Structure 1
Amino acid sequence: MKKNDKNLIEKFLRFGTHLKDEIFSCMPTRKSRVIYKKIPKNILVIFPHGIGNMVLFTPVLENLKINFPDSFIILLLAPRNTKEVITDSRLFDTIIEYDKNQKNSSQLFFDIVKIFKNANIDLGLSFSMSAEFPRLMSLSKVKYRIGFKYNYRKLKDVNYLLHKSVLSDSNKHEVLNYLSVLKLIGITDFIIKPCFYFKKNLPYTVREKLKNDGLNYKKNVVGFHTGSFLDMIEKRWPPENFAKLGNLLTKNFSVQIVIVGGEEEKNYINKIIDKMDGYVKNLAGTLNLKETAALISTMKLFVSNDSGPMHIAAGVGTPVIGIFGPTNEIKNSPWAHENQIVKVIRHPMNCAPCYIPYSGKISCKNNKCLRSITPEDVFSKCEDILFNTE
């Protein structure tokens, strides 16, 4: 390998370590039952999506690792903190982050192509609806390429770059859509446990970090996520409804409310807290993603818009209520572990869901689907969970 190539690898690769520490893990042991005729030495997995989707995607990595335990797995991810979902796992060997929106993205694209050519990749799996990734795999000389079938007029011309493909079904849960790609190589016996991975001692560490914030862990802690990506604010249940729900919970149950989120959501959350009684803590921007997941794992209940933290809560086994409006709950609902309580609330409307998958576009701006859901509607579901988990 040339010196320049080594520099590229040092620049763009971050090697995952097989941690010896105990981790919060959902992956049991099972022998391989793969029908794929060749054992790939190097596998490329392309998944340029967000945090919540990454939680739902972990069963793909688990089942790949079960069926190809000796293969070297390379992940190509978007730089959205997505990697934090799995960095404490043993599901991969290397992560490359690729930001197609950065200024020198074209140069980065071809630098990555050069790296992948040198890596001599046997099997490539693309879980993106972007046409650039089949092209990337083809240019990188990936020997066998599979992924989602492109059914849009402008993108159909890239289907020939994939040896096998499958359509993503809008009436099927995203977890099952992701796993349908593995069926193309004969993997059909699945372990399905979406998970967020962290070290087992992290919840204790987080409690120590927050011990001066007045949180009483002998009481029931209920978590809220009231926000969303700034370009998807249409997914937010009205803030005054979260405030009223919090008041109903603190009045009727001995609970403390903790609201999590990113730094950019802090002021938005403070406006909600101004309308709330009882103990409520704004932790937006206080904890990193792993710490947030660890804290959520200790909660009695988590109530959230359709967002990454909703899937994190499901991925760490916490009872969760997801509030849905413009997005499709069939495709995007939190996935329950065995014996885990997961509830989804939405009011049926002819115009919903109106979100166009993979586009970031929502056709309705008045959010009547979410505004029609009252605090009392959500409180009723909270009651069921809090009474049944005492």
Structure 2
Amino acid sequence: MHKTDMKNILVIRFNKAGDMICTIPLLKTLRRHFKDAAITLFAEDASEEISGNIPQIDGFFVYRKTDNMFRNKYVECRKLIKNYKKAHGIKKFDIAIAVKGGFSSFLSAAACISGAGIRIGYRSPQKRLWNLCYNLPANPIDLPSVHQVEACLNLLTAIGISDFIRDASISVPAAAADKAYVFLTAHKMTPKKRIAVFNISNNRESSTWYPENFIKLGRIISQKYGYNFIITSIPADKGKAVRICDQLNGKGFFYDTAGLMDFAAVASVSNFLVAGDGGAVHIGAAAGAKVIALFGQTNPIIYGPYGEGHIVLKSKDGNVNSITPDDVITALSIHE
């Protein structure tokens, strides 16, 4: 395989925003090795906003999940790939890389449907027909013992790439950065000057810290170190977020994050972010925040915040609420 012959590369990465953040080092590495190729990203709607802010790709299209029981996802996948190729004058994809830290039958099917000459992905350790979809399978590694970023990067060893760019950072769009700055100014705060972001929402119950824990943590940090707090949440948790603000004695301020980049912007101006494991942890780390990640049942070796300087607290019983505010204070080791 000659790199100059690879004109069109398809990277297939489904799942959510945090998973897309973990794919960014792979995309950056691909761009360095295939400077003249068109790199296309096939993503899910949950990571659409992240996908639209990755400068290393030339385009992307989105698979949208629905509750329609009569919808055939494989037919839909074929239609999306066909339409994108037609709209962009692509006769064929030379390489399709199905990105996931393990085997996925849907991803293997999508790679096959793409019609790419080279199809890379993780095969199942079991004998499955879907394994035949990959004609250049990824080199096997001990997936449960490596970070999701490293599992993604390992896919590139199948085409002889091993000098990885281990950088998952993102740039915050100007509009989102301006919105965050206006918010800080309105509340008499200065970027990186005793500001903590608490993201209170999580799609896993075992990773959802109780509001009372955020309140207690905020009160301790505010009283001892003079911090202000920006509270973020999904729309459904706004009531909880506002209640937390009300209990922080004028030091808590709710920030309406209309999009993922709004959250990235406000995290980037903080001294640290506290959040349960999930997308907020990865977005915050990618935006340059120091992250204190609270883990319930999820394995932090695989899904912890990527990069240096972050703090991971893992509950002993699988329930994130067994981690106390005092545990967080001890881990932070804040000094005036």
What TM bracket, shorter-length normalisation? 0.7 to 0.9
Q: Which SS does the other structure have where 1:165 is aligned?
A: coil
Paired with 2:273 and 2:306, the residues of 1 have a C-alpha distance of: 14
Task: String of CA shifts for 1:207-232, please: whole Å, max 9, x gaps.
Answer: 125543x2422741111112112xx2
Match of 2:253, SS state, is strand
Secondary structure of the residue that 1:242 maps to in structure 2?
helix
Would the aligned equivalents of 2:137 and 2:158 in 1 still touch at CA under 8 Å? yes
Query: What amino acid does structure 1 have at the position aligned with 2:162?
Result: T
- The equivalent of 2:261 in structure 1 is 290
Does the CA-based 8 Å contact 2:264-2:284 persist in structure 1?
Answer: yes
How big is each residue's C-alpha offset from its partner over 1:59-116, in whole Å with a ceiling of 9 and x where there is no partner? Answer: 0000000000111111110001x13224334211111100243534545223124336
Secondary structure (helix, strand or coil) at the match of 1:64 reads helix
Q: Quick one: which of 197, 201, 205 aligns to 1:223?
A: 197
1:275 positional shift: 3.9
Matched, 1:374 2:324: yes
Contact 1:227 1:233 in 2 (8 A): no
TM-score (norm 2): 0.88
Correspondence for 1:331:
302
1:160 equivalent among 132, 152, 158: 132
| CA-CA distance at 1:152 after TM superposition | 5.6
Residues 210-359 of structure 1 mapped to structure 2, 5 A cutoff: 211-212=185-186, 214-217=187-190, 219-229=193-203, 232-283=204-255, 285-337=256-308, 341-349=309-317, 352=318
Q: Give the number of equivalent residue pairs.
A: 324
- Give the match for residue 126 of structure 1: 98
- Whether 1:85 aligns to 2:50 is yes
Helix, strand or coil for the counterpart of 1:145? strand
| Larger deviation, residues 313-322 vs 218-227 | 218-227
Q: CA deviation at 1:293?
A: 0.9
Tell me the SS of whatever aligns to 2:273: strand
Would the aligned equivalents of 1:250 and 1:278 in 2 still touch at CA under 8 Å?
A: no
Per-residue Cα deviation, 1:141-175 (whole angstroms, up to 9, x for no partner) = 2111001222367xx22011101223570111111
- Whether the 8 Å contact between 2:23 and 2:99 is mirrored in structure 1 is no
Q: How does 1:196-207 map to 2 (within 5 A)?
A: 196-199=170-173, 202-207=176-181
Residue 48, structure 1, aligned to residue 17, structure 2: no
Gaps of 5+ in 1: 1-34, 353-366
C-alpha distance in 2, partners of 1:63/1:186? 12
Letter in 2 for 1:149: R
Structure 2 equivalent of residue 24 of structure 1: none
1:179 aligned to 107, 131, 153, which one? 153
The answer to whether 1:66 aligns with 2:32 is yes
Whether 1:108 and 2:76 are equivalent positions in the alignment is: yes
Letter in 2 for 1:304: A
| Partner AA of 1:311 in structure 2 | H
Contact between 2:43 and 2:51, CA under 8 Å: does it hold in 1?
no
Tell me what 1:76 maps to.
42
SS of alignment partner, residue 164 of structure 1: coil
1:87 and 1:224 map into 2 onto residues whose CA distance is 25
Deviation of the 1:253 alpha carbon: 0.8
1:188 pairs with one of 162, 165, 176: 162
Gaps of 5+ in 2: none
Output the CA distance in 2 between the equivalents of 1:112 and 1:202.
30
Q: Which runs of 4+ in 1 moved over 6 A?
A: none
Indicate conservation of the 8 Å contact 2:202/2:276, yes or no.
Answer: yes
Aligned residue identity for 2:56: L
1:56 deviates by 1.7
Q: Structure 1, residues 281-301: CA drift from partner, whole Å, max 9, x if none?
A: 122x44422122112111111
2:79 aligns to what SS in structure 1?
helix
CA distance in 2, matches of 1:215, 1:309: 25
- Asked if 2 retains the 8 angstrom alpha-carbon contact of 1:127 and 1:147, the reply is yes
How far off is 1:240 after superposition? Answer: 1.4
The separation in 2 between residues aligned to 1:263 and 1:223, in whole angstroms, is 17
Q: Which amino acid aligns with 2:60?
A: I
Other-structure match for 1:147: 121
CA contact (8 A) 1:117 1:141 kept: no
Return the TM-score normalized by structure 1.
Answer: 0.76
Q: Secondary structure at the match of 2:45?
A: coil
**CA distance, structure 1, for counterparts of residue 257 and residue 165 of structure 2:** 34
Q: Distance between the aligned counterparts of 2:109 and 2:162, measured in 1? A: 27
Distance 1:239 1:152, change over 3 A: farther
In structure 2, relative to structure 1, the CA distance for the partners of 1:100 and 1:347 (3 Å cut) is closer
